[in-house]
Amino acid sequence: MVVSGAYQPLTLRRMIDLSGKSAIVTGGSRGIGKQIALRLAQQGADVCLSYVSNAAAAQQTAKEIEALGRKALAVQANVTDPEAAEALVKAALDAFGKVDILVNNAGITRDDLIMRMTAEAWREVLETNLFGAFYTLKAVTRPMLRAKRGRIIQITSVSGQAGQMGQANYSSAKAGLIGLTKAAARELGSRGITVNAVAPGFVLTELTEGLSDDLKQQITDRTPLARFGTTEEVAYAVAFLASDEAAYITGQVLAVDGGLVMM
């Protein structure tokens, strides 16, 4: 017997639907950025991805997106240059007619202890990870304001939440990205634009594959779920925040870190 108004368990899983949406993913040719681009395409979005130097990897990612039945565009753009960020957004607008989603993923590391860190290493990381995100966010703001809707997702890090020894530059940039997320969420919210951040923990990528077995064990020992994350798990979180299901979420930092940092 079915009682009116009683809870009914879901028998079908609703899939996030990004059909008809278009996205920009900076640093989208490899690693987390590539998986985000593919996940958005799998959910129905056309994707423009930026890269700096590895054209072959970018074109391969674009081909994989097209194989999913979506439009793809690979644009060479160093987002540390404000004009390049503007050109990236213009290329996406020309190709797709609109930009519904921006994922600021482009980032680099130049790790060292503070006493040995050069001014150049400090500057390079801040310019790419924080300034670049600002320039791209600024460039996409005008078309999103005209459309009165949009989703902006910043890829920050647990290092920006808790700090990390040997990463003063990276931690500072990622913490700044959280501040940018919250400020932009307040500025843009009245026009239907949400701005959120995803903070990955230790994720299996080309960078972490080179860690020693001892360090990997230390990391898993510190992580409540006792394992590294995957690029797919980060991409799932981004796809959710890009969706209509997340329409009432803004100014938030979603940690995808296995419980490593609990705020």
Given the residues 51, 135, 170, 248, select the one marked as catalytic: 170
CA pair distance 115, 263, nearest whole angstrom: 29
Burial of 29-42, coded b for 16+ CB within 10 Å and e otherwise, reads bbbbbbbbbbbbbb
DSSP E strands, 86-184: 101-104, 150-155
Q: Angle formed by the axes of helices 168-188 and 132-147, to 10°? A: 10
CA pair distance 222, 232, nearest whole angstrom: 21
In three-state secondary structure terms, 99 is coil
Q: Is 7 an active-site residue? A: no
Catalogue the active-site residues. Answer: 170
